[in-house]
Amino acid sequence: MKSARIVSPRKIEIIDEPVPALEEGRVLIRLKKTALCGSDIPYYSYTFAPSSYPLPPGYPGHECMGIVEESKSSVFTPGELVMYYPPGLDAYKEYHCADPARLQKLPKGMDLNILVMTQLLGCVAHGAFRVDKPYNKHVVVMGQGPVGLLFTALMKNLGAKNIIAVDPLPWRGVTALQMGADHAVNPLESDVVGEVKNLTGGHMADIVIDAYGQEVAVINQCFDLACHNGQVAFFGICLEESPALNFNVFFRKELRMVASVGPDLTMDYPYGLDMILRGAVDVSPLITHTMPFDDIAKAFEIATNREEKVIKIILDM
């Protein structure tokens, strides 16, 4: 079977591995689609210790769906379409021997590119459930990649009265408005703090969602954007173990922080699927590229370099 492996910084190769043996109680899945996640990109583009390479085959992919090829579980039968959340984050493989608890049945007859987005939407929904109720509140979403755009859509669904999307890439700002943002602010062109103050009538944001996370400066700016007694929610992954946070700003404004990283597979993924099936969230504006799995190296380069107005890349197995 095909398997992608990061062998050194910005170098990924497709290798051949045996199809995993089907264990009792498990399900053999042949992937149909897998998607690049923003959290995957640092593993491809950053330089880690030489001893880290090569990374495990398939790592760090985690957004995927496929067909049940064989089953030793009473819950699933061959031919069923399923979403899979691999515990080893090794989605960039053609076949998987899966725990049924990590699978969700998907309806047939729909665009598979839309269905594979269930995983990400469910993950974002988990974060949205952890923040204060956004109804009739000012919300700032920092970063308008796929995660930020889905947060924007969910905040609109949950009744936020004023959503301010912040992103330096112009095409993402345009997409943010499609997804429900009331305003799009480019931090390379405007003073974000000043813009938020103006757009909220001096109130600032009741809720600030960090959907980027990779830079400490962005994290600290979240504190600046929040109103007194506001809430800052962190979804983006900070790559520093001990970031230098502006604690006094956080302390004196009496802010509240919440973090979200791991979804509840029994609730969040079914919710994400339901939102897509009911048309409550249209994920199609996010899908900018569909490419063959064999072009995974090219896909990572496009995503890393932010070329071709990329937002979300889906790979066909």
Q: Does residue 272 fall inside a structural domain?
A: no
Number of separate domains in the chain: 2
User: Are residue 311 and residue 213 in the same domain, yes or no?
Assistant: no
Distance (Å) of CA 121 to CA 37, 149, 151, 213: 12, 10, 9, 18
Nearest to 196 by CA among 222, 177, 218: 222
Q: Does residue 268 fall inside a structural domain?
A: no
pLDDT above 90 for 215 = no
CATH (domain of 52): 3.90.180.10
Range of the domain at 71: 2-117+283-316
Q: Does residue 45 fall inside a structural domain?
A: yes
User: Are residue 196 and residue 245 in the same domain, yes or no?
Assistant: yes
> What is the rounded average pLDDT of the residues 116-140?
96
* Residues 315 and 293: beta-carbon distance below 8 Å: yes
Q: pLDDT tens for residues 141-177?
A: 999 999 999 999 999 999 999 999 999 999 999 999 9
Q: Does residue 264 fall inside a structural domain?
A: no
User: Are residue 110 and residue 129 in the same domain, yes or no?
Assistant: no
User: Are residue 174 and residue 113 in the same domain, yes or no?
Assistant: no
User: Are residue 214 and residue 94 in the same domain, yes or no?
Assistant: no
User: Are residue 111 and residue 152 in the same domain, yes or no?
Assistant: no
Of 32-46, 70-84, 135-149, 238-252, minimum mean pLDDT range: 238-252
User: Are residue 213 and residue 162 in the same domain, yes or no?
Assistant: yes
User: Are residue 176 and residue 207 in the same domain, yes or no?
Assistant: yes
Of 9-23, 235-249, 287-301, minimum mean pLDDT range: 235-249
CATH (domain of 229): 3.40.50.720
Residue 157, class by beta-carbon neighbours within 10 Å (0-12 exposed, 13-18 middle, 19+ buried)? middle
Q: What is the pTM of this model?
A: 0.95
User: Are residue 93 and residue 171 in the same domain, yes or no?
Assistant: no
> What is the rounded average pLDDT of the residues 259-286?
93
